[in-house]
Structure 1
Amino acid sequence: MPRSSLLLHAGLFALGLCGPIISIAEPTEMASELLETVQSVRGLGATSIKDGGGGSGGGSGGSGEDNVDPPNDPETAVRQVYEDDVNQLIVSSAGGCTSSGCHGRAGAPGGLRLYSSAEANSVNDNYQSFLKYIGAESADRLTSKISGNGHGGGTRYGSGSDEYATIEAWAVSVEALP
């Protein structure tokens, strides 16, 4: 298991967000487990999403047609977490990653070009940019920068915040994909 996965798991275990490591999981299993961790940080369980309960992703409570089953495919699940949780943190004023002086421009620092929510197809473009960045660098490097370590833009989200935990779990799940 990659060092970053062990550190994440150890930290989440200490916070009571997941159980101890019993065996080394296959990459797709790890991605699924990390998805569950992100859902836990969000305050949603797998049944909460399906049943339309809890969090901001709940259904309308009507006929049930708005309820969405959580994805079973790890790649789909990782993308869904990005779309539902991570992108909003990146484009928010608190995250500030997409401003024109930072990653919102051609030639962005570290090669990580991001797009504001006002730009067409920004969610997909940001998702693809992060996949490329994490593939070339690592989830550890991304989360290190977000927490302010060696980041010219300072701390975006402190390492003890729910936002940081969501981004970290998602980034590590990207690395865990086959």
Structure 2
Amino acid sequence: MVETRDFDILSPGFHANPFLTLDRMRAEGPVVPMRLPIVGRTWLAVTHDACATLLKDHESFARDPGNAGSRTQARVLRFLPRSLGLLALNMLGHDDPEHRRLRGLVDQAFQRRTVEAMKPMITQIADRLLDKLEGRRRSISWSSSVAIFRFRSSVRCSACRSRNTIDSRTGWVG
């Protein structure tokens, strides 16, 4: 059995300055065994070449843990609220051909000319959400996290044309 390493990639210290830890990880090799909460024992690719190989070699590597023989994700999803479970099951976690099919459905929405055409709408969403933050006494880090989530959600809804109005309850544009 391969020994896992003690790299704390979830700590605030790592997020403030990840470079020392990443240097230590790369010194171990291009792929590092480690243990993560909930996930358990896993491997982390820490070089560009290792990441490119993992993403392109569909014969040797799977994105969907179920295709690699793991049932951990299915067990975890049973305990998550349904809304979080739906977010966890996105196209990034699917293997081909399902990943390719889902990507084909959304590719056009994220082409350069489509995004360029959406700039005025994206600016409007950002301005509206920032205006809502003005004058608030709450912690800006919490408020900005919520605003970023709302911003991303509003842009995605607009890009995929899943809604065409402003939701009066959330204020999201879709």
**TM-score bin (small chain):** under 0.3
More helix by share: 2
If each structure's strand is expressed as a fraction of its own residues, which one has the higher value?
A: 2
Name the larger-Rg structure: 2
The structure showing larger relative contact order (alpha-carbon pairs under 8 Å, at least 6 residues apart) is 1
TM-score, scaled to structure 2: 0.22
TM-score (norm 1): 0.22
